[in-house]
Amino acid sequence: MIDLSVNFAGVRFKNFVTVASGTFGFGREYSEYFDLSRLGGICVKGLTVQPRDGNPPVRIAETPGGILNSVGLQNPGVDAFIKTELPFLRGYDTRIIANISGNTPAEYALMAKKLSDAGIDIIEVNVSCPNVKAGGIAFGTDPCLAAEVTRAVKTVSEVPVMIKLSPNVTDIVSIARACEDAGADALSLINTLLGMRIDPRTGRPVLKNITGGLSGPAIFPIALRMVWQVCSAVSVPVMGMGGVSDTEGALEMLWAGASLVSAGTALFKDPLAAVSIVEGAETFFRENNMKGPCDIRGKLKLYD
């Protein structure tokens, strides 16, 4: 029997495949394509304390091998999510991971408390946000700031806390270790890479916000490298993401040490991409006489 289940930070997932925050909304649109219960987990769209309209268009642009986005965390706010979206998601047999974004540790803590009380399965903390009290520096680019947010959320949360790491740093391992030392139950990586494009005909940036986050297949090798580095340096479980588009990419993440794997931008091209990864993984493990992810997780075969 093939067993794709995973115990992740004390939470059992029926399989190791999830969908990334910001690419799946709150699941309503994708529920028209497939049964959301086929997923191991859903990372919902990033939440803020107050509703946000996001950035003005143009805020999404295709680029070779990926997508640039500066959506700006458009969302209905944490209270509306708990009231309207969470009951809908609870109608499916899958784990719900709430992604939160704040401008101060207090904002993160406020949302974490509300979501923890609402019985969310895991809280994913987006530390790529600017700290308004520190001149706009992103929490995730400084080990001390990342640790501060981690402690603030852990103090109030009764459910596991997972910190989502930014790749826009020179040493992601130091950030990962700081979050682990501050009490993080798990880590997820990577978030998008900062990029931009210019329309050569007009000389204007293709995005109104000028720069945006790059996601998609183009960033997969970078994401895989960072996941391997972090998994080699920490003891908490890791959810790997960043350009995962198919079963092969998901398996690479497992070999590198990830316990969960998240598909994101691939869903825009194929809404069934995550389901195809689950089915492909079952086939792989069966054909190779393996029980499941436990047979390859973190078992990268290095050269002599």
pLDDT per residue as tens digits for the range 159-178: 999 999 999 999 999 999 99
Q: What are 95's strand-pairing partners?
A: 41
pLDDT, average across residues 246-254: 98
pLDDT of amino acid 132: 62
Angle between helices 172-181 and 220-231 (to 10 degrees): 40
Mean pLDDT value of segment 139-158: 96
Task: Determine the Cα–Cα distance for residues 126 and 72; give it in Å rounded to an integer.
Answer: 13
Look over the chain and give the mean of its residue pLDDT values, rounded to a whole number: 96
Backbone Cα Rg of the chain? 18
Helix (H) or strand (E) holding 240: strand 238-241
pLDDT in tens, 100-112: 999 999 999 999 9
CA geometry: angle 221, 20, 55, nearest 5 deg:
100
Q: Is the pLDDT at 182 greater than 80, yes or no?
A: yes
pLDDT at 192: 95
Evaluate if residue 253 carries a pLDDT over 80: yes
Going by pLDDT thresholds of 50, 70 and 90, the confidence category of residue 131 is: low
Model confidence at 134, pLDDT cuts 50, 70, 90, reads low
Q: How far is CA 210 from CA 46, 138, 205, 260, in A?
A: 21, 18, 5, 33
Model confidence band, residue 304 (pLDDT cutoffs 50, 70, 90)? confident
| pLDDT over 70, % of the chain | 98
Task: Supply the pLDDT for residue 252.
Answer: 98
Query: What's the pLDDT tens digit per position in 36-68?
Result: 999 999 999 999 999 999 999 999 999 999 999
Q: Is residue 295 classed as helix, strand or coil in its secondary structure?
A: helix
Structural tokens at position 205 = 């940036």
DSSP assignment, residue 210?
S
Q: What is the pLDDT of residues 214-231, one digit of tens each?
A: 999 999 999 999 999 999
Domain-wise residue ranges, the chain = 6-50+73-194+215-295
Tokens, residue 141? 């680019």
Q: pLDDT-derived band of residue 1, with 50, 70 and 90 as boundaries?
A: confident
Tell me what the mean pLDDT of segment 126-151 comes to.
86
**Res. 136: pLDDT tops 90:** no
Q: Could you confirm whether 179 is annotated as catalytic?
A: no
pTM, rounded to two decimals: 0.96
What's the CATH architecture for 6-50+73-194+215-295?
A: Alpha-Beta Barrel (3.20)
Selecting among 129, 144, 231, 294, the annotated active-site residue is: 129
